[in-house]
Amino acid sequence: MTVTNRRPPTTGAGEPCRFRGCCAVHAMVAPIGRGRIAQVEGDMAKFLLLLRDNPGDFSSLSPAEIQRIIGEYRAWAEGLRARNQLHNSNKLMDDAGKIVRHNGSGVVLKDGPYTETKEVIGGYFLIEAADYAAAVAIAGTCPHVRPGASGTIEVRQIQEM
C-alpha cells in the first residue's frame, strides 16, 4: 500500500513540523489507522538483515581463509554503500548475549537465547530497499549465504517510530 496524498507532518499542537525533510519518521512513513504504517510512495523502507551462524563452523578455517571471507563481506558492504543502500552494519561478539526479562516478581538475567543451540546472531546490516522482495534480493547476494556457507539471514522491516 502506498500513500500519495498525505498532509505535511504536524506537531501534536497541529503546527507544521520543523523537522520536515530530515525527521526519519516523516521522511519514511505515514500513519495509516491505528498503529499501522505504510511506506510513502517514492521513499525507501529500512530493513534489518540479521546474520545467524555457528561460530564453530569457522574453527577449521585457516587465518588466510577467514581474512578472505571478511574481505568478501567488506566488498559486499562497500557495494551497498556505493548504491546508498547501507545505513549501518556491525559484527557481533561470538557469544550468546544476555536476555533480560521480567518473571512476575522482578527483572531476571539469563544467558542469551541460543544457549540450547550453537547458532548466534553474528552480525547485522541495516539496509534500504523498496520492499521486502528487494530486501530479500539484496540479502541473497550477501556472502553469508554463499555456496557452502551454513549461515542464514533473517530479513525484518523497520517500523520507524
For 85-106, what is the mean pLDDT? Answer: 89
Q: Give the total number of structural domains in the chain.
A: 2
Residues 19 and 6 in one domain: yes
CA–centroid distance for 103 within its chain: 28
Both 50 and 91 in one domain: the answer is yes
Task: Count Cβ neighbours within 10 Å for each residue of 84-101 and write b for 16 or more, e otherwise.
Answer: ebbeebeeeeeebeeeee
Contacts of 130 (CB under 8 A, 6+ apart): 44, 45
Per-residue pLDDT, 34 = 39
Could you say which of 43, 62, 77 is where a domain stops? 43
- pLDDT per residue as tens digits for the range 38-81: 444 457 899 999 999 887 788 888 999 999 999 999 999 999 99
Residue 93's identity, in one-letter code, is M
Residue 43: strand, helix, or coil: coil
pLDDT the model gives residue 76: 96
50 plus 34 within the same structural domain: no
C-alpha cell at 85: 543502500
Task: State pTM to two decimals.
Answer: 0.69
Same domain, 38 and 70: no
User: Same domain, yes or no, for 34 and 106?
Assistant: no
* Residue 145 contacts residue 151 (beta carbons within 8 Å): yes
**Within this chain, do residues 71 and 15 fall inside the same structural domain, yes or no?**
no
Closest CA to 3 of 46, 34, 45, 42: 42
- Mean pLDDT estimate for the chain: 77
Identify the domain boundary among 9, 28, 43: 43
Instruction: State the amino acid at position 34 in one-letter form.
Output: R
CATH number, domain at 61? 3.30.70.1060
Range of the domain at 79: 45-157
Residues 83 and 31 in one domain: no
